[in-house]
Amino acid sequence: MPIRSDWHIHTRNSCDEAALTVRDLLAGAAACGISDFGITDHVHTPYNLLDIEAARREFDAACPPASAHFGVEISCVSEWELEKIARGEVERPVYGIREGGPAGAELAVGLPEEERRRLGIEYVVAGVHWPLYVPYEADAITRDYHRQLLFLACHPMVTIIAHPWWWMGRWRDTDGIYRSDPWLDDFTRIPAAMHREFSEAVRANGKAVEINLGAMILNPTYTERFRWQYGEYLAALQSEGVTLSIGSDCHDAIYGSDFDRAEQILERLGIDMSILWRLPSREY
């Protein structure tokens, strides 16, 4: 079954290297046969809200169809960094404060509910993007990621959990491939009890879990073995009753992903594409 939706797309307004204009997205999605989709630029802390205001203006000016939506991608951050940033103690906290916080810091999201409403944000994709002040040691990071994932799964603002267990940064081989810690050598290193607890939390709170194409299923810096193990994990979540959603995580200036290849992989994994998460068209 072809992929027809994409709920994780970055525009040039995002704080990272994303480069796509909303106009080019609208044309590109139509060309790729993607009928239902949404833009999701990053909000790590309120410092990024100017980007979201710019995205909102560009989105509205492009006169999008009712099946195009306005979302954001938030991160799991800490109360500690939000407070420091609110006090003006950091000059340009584009990615919050990534060092020096207390281990076990109280978890938080950087998007106040009143800002979500003011900006007309229709849905919230939320991801774990970095460890929160724990040592760079595989077991500590696994526990920390699980703690963050559970926090997001229980947070009332969150609609979709983005790319569970995505990893970037340390432990990358010189050829650019991740083959070792914290779990990139073998996804079964993560205790099954964590997956059970996450699956239960997601179902109890009615969240969707993302099939992220660019950062996970098609990520060229992960091994094929890892990507397959990860796909089996997503298929297992679906068989337990978890709703899955599709996200290209496109950061390019030209919209797209290798949707054909992704479709083949998802089919081989036995993922049922007819029951994916979808936001109804907006009403005017």
Strand partners, 222: 178
Stretch that binds Zn ion, among 140-148, 154-162, 257-265, 267-275 (CB under 5 A): 154-162
Tell me, by CB under 5 A, how many residues bind Zn ion. Answer: 4
Residue with smaller CB distance to Zn ion, 81 or 249: 249
Select the residue interacting with Zn ion from 101, 127, 164, 214 (CB under 5 A). 127
Q: Is 38 in the site for Zn ion (CB under 5 A)?
A: no
Residue with smaller CB distance to Zn ion, 162 or 276: 162
Cβ at position 284, least distance to Zn ion in Å: 28
Residue with smaller CB distance to Zn ion, 128 or 190: 128
Cβ at position 251, least distance to Zn ion in Å: 7
Strand partners, 71: 40, 123
- With CB atoms as reference, the residue minimizing the distance to Zn ion is 127
Handedness of CA 119, 124, 129, 130 (dihedral sign): positive
- Three-state SS sequence of the chain: CCCCEECCECCCCCCCCCCCCHHHHHHHHHHHCCCEEEEEEEECCHHHHHHHHHHHHHHHHCCCCCCEEEEEEEECEEHHHHHHHHCCCCCCCCCCCCCCCCCCCCEECCCCHHHHHHCCCCEEEEECCCCCCCCCCHHHHHHHHHHHHHHHHHCCCCCEECCCCCCCCCCECCCCCECCCCCCCCHHHCCHHHHHHHHHHHHHCCCEEEEEHHHHHCCCCECHHHHHHHHHHHHHHHHCCCEEEEECCECCCCCCCCHHHHHHHHHHHCCCHHHCCCCCCCCC
Residue with smaller CB distance to Zn ion, 71 or 127: 127
Residue with smaller CB distance to Zn ion, 86 or 184: 184
Residue 256's nearest CA partner among 37, 13, 15 is 37
Cβ at position 71, least distance to Zn ion in Å: 11
Stretch that binds Zn ion, among 132-140, 151-159, 247-255, 274-282 (CB under 5 A): 247-255
Stretch that binds Zn ion, among 43-51, 119-127, 144-152, 198-206 (CB under 5 A): 119-127
Cβ at position 187, least distance to Zn ion in Å: 18
Cβ at position 211, least distance to Zn ion in Å: 13
Residue with smaller CB distance to Zn ion, 200 or 221: 221
Q: Is 249 in the site for Zn ion (CB under 5 A)?
A: yes
Handedness of CA 109, 112, 116, 122 (dihedral sign): positive
Cβ at position 87, least distance to Zn ion in Å: 27
Residues in region 64-93 near Zn ion by CB under 5 A: 73
Cβ at position 42, least distance to Zn ion in Å: 7
Q: Is 144 in the site for Zn ion (CB under 5 A)?
A: no
Binding site for Zn ion (CB under 5 A): 73, 127, 162, 249
